Structures are given as structure tokens and as C-alpha cells.
Amino acid sequence: MEGHGSQGSGAPGRRGFIEVLLGGGLLGLLGAMLYSVGRFVIPPKVADAGLSSVVAGKVKDFGSNSGKIFRFGNRPGILVRTPSGDFRAFSAVCTHLNCTVQYRSDLEKIWCACHNGTFDLYGKNVSGPPPRPLDAFDTAVRGDDIIVSRKA
């Protein structure tokens, strides 16, 4: 006979066991869900990714005629402070064979150590094997922060 409420056969012990099993299982499931959702909603400490802009550095860390590699999304970028003092940023991926470029203050140019490719301070490839200029980014200074963002 089916129907709601009929006690049916089984000792109270059996009913208790079922209750424990069901209750325990549901509690465990609920606990697992609450734990995972709880940890999910708390934001991770790492600065979040997927940026269209990033703080590449602080103004006070840069004298004129200096450069630094920073991370932009999944690729390296290079932030340069020209001898005349303004900030410029480019992709640091050399357009020849994808080595990471660096700033050469002695040459006042961006240089690639792999095959001696050179880019000027506008990112244009001026000597060596690189076939194309470096991709340029926009820079803005906000207070002491230098913000680099992709070109609009």
C-alpha cells in the first residue's frame, strides 16, 4: 500500500537509521555546497586579470632614460621613460622571434638581446631582423601611478 504517512513495516531503529542517513547525507551535501560557494564568493588576493589596463609602475621609481618590463594580461610589456621625461609603453614581445625586449639606456633605444634587433622610442623597428614595430599602448599618470592601457 502506498500513500503518504503510512508507517509500513520496520522497527523504529530502521526509521532512525534512515533519518540519520538522509539527514547526514543532506547535511554533508549542504555543507560541501556552502563551503565551496562560500570560498568562491570571497575574492582571491591576487590582483585580478583580464585587464584592459594595469598599473605598470610608480613615477618615483623611474628616472628619465630608463625602462622596465611589466606584465600585461598574458604578455610582457615594456614601460619606458624617455630622456625628455615622458612615459611610453609597448608590447615587449619582439616582432622577430618573440624574445622579450629590454631598454638600453646607453643606446636610448629598445633592444632585443636575441638577434640584436633595435626599436626606437616610438616602437619602430630601426635595425636588425625585426620586421614590424612593437605594438604601442596608451599611458596615463594618475598621482604616483603609471597606468598602461590598450589602445582604444
Partner 1 sequence: MTWQALYDWLDARLQIGKLIEFARHKQVPVTRHFYWYYLGGITLFLFAIQVASGILLLLYYKPTAETAFESVQFIVTKVPFGWLVRSTHSWAANLMIFTAFLHLFSVFFLKAYRPPRELTWVSGMLLLFLAMGFGFSGYLLPWNELAYFATKVGSDIAGAVPLVGGFLKTFLRGGEDVTGATLTRFFGIHVAVLPMIFTTLLLGHLLLIQRQGMSPPFIPAGRPSAPPREMPFLPNFFLREAVLWAGTLAVLLYLSIFFPWELGVKVDPFAPAPAGIRPEWFFTFMSQSLKYIPGKVLGMDGEVLGILAFNAGAAFLVLVPFLDRWAARGRRHPFFTWAGIGIIVFMLTMITLAYVKPY
Partner 2 sequence: MSNRTDAVLAIPILAALLFLVFPGAARAAHEPAGERPDTCTACHQAVGGPVAKPLEDRKADVHAAKGISCADCHGGDPARMDMEAMAKAKGFVGRPARRDVPRFCGRCHGDPAFMRPFNPAIRTDQFSQYQTSIHGKRLAAGDTKVAVCTDCHGVHSILPANNAQSRVFPVRVAETCGHCHGDAEYMKGYKIPTDQLANYRESVHGELLLKRQDLAAPTCNKCHGNHGAFPPEVTSIAGVCGQCHVINKDLFLQSPHHAAFDRRQLPECATCHSNHKILRTNDQMVGVGEKALCIRCHAPGSAGYKAAEQMGKTIAELGGAIDRGAAKLAEAERAGMEVSDAKYDFQNARTALIKARNEVHIFNPERLNKVAGPGIELAEKGYRAGQEALDELGYRKRWSLIPLAAILAVVVGLVLQIRRMEGR
**CB 28 to partner 2: min, Å:** 3
Determine, following the binding rule CB under 8 A, whether residue 26 of this chain makes contact with partner 2: yes
Phi-psi label, residue 8: left if phi above 0, alpha if psi -120 to 50, beta otherwise:
left
Determine, following the binding rule CB under 8 A, whether residue 1 of this chain makes contact with partner 1: no
Q: Please give the residues from 92 up to 111 whose contact with partner 2 meets the rule CB under 8 A.
A: 97-100
**CB 84 to partner 2: min, Å:** 28
Q: In the Cβ-directed half-sphere of 123, how many Cα atoms lie within 13 Å?
A: 20
Determine, following the binding rule CB under 8 A, whether residue 24 of this chain makes contact with partner 2: yes
Which residues of the chain form beta strands (DSSP E)? 53-58, 66-72, 75-81, 87-91, 102-104, 109-112, 117-119, 125-127, 136-142, 145-149
Determine, following the binding rule CB under 8 A, whether residue 84 of this chain makes contact with partner 2: no
Determine, following the binding rule CB under 8 A, whether residue 74 of this chain makes contact with partner 2: yes
Q: How far is CA 43 from the centre of its chain?
A: 14
Q: Binder to partner 1 among 12, 50, 131, 143 (CB under 8 A)?
A: 50
Residues at the site binding partner 2, with contacts judged by CB under 8 A: 1-4, 6, 8-10, 14-15, 17-19, 21-29, 31-33, 71, 74-75, 97-100, 113-116, 128-129
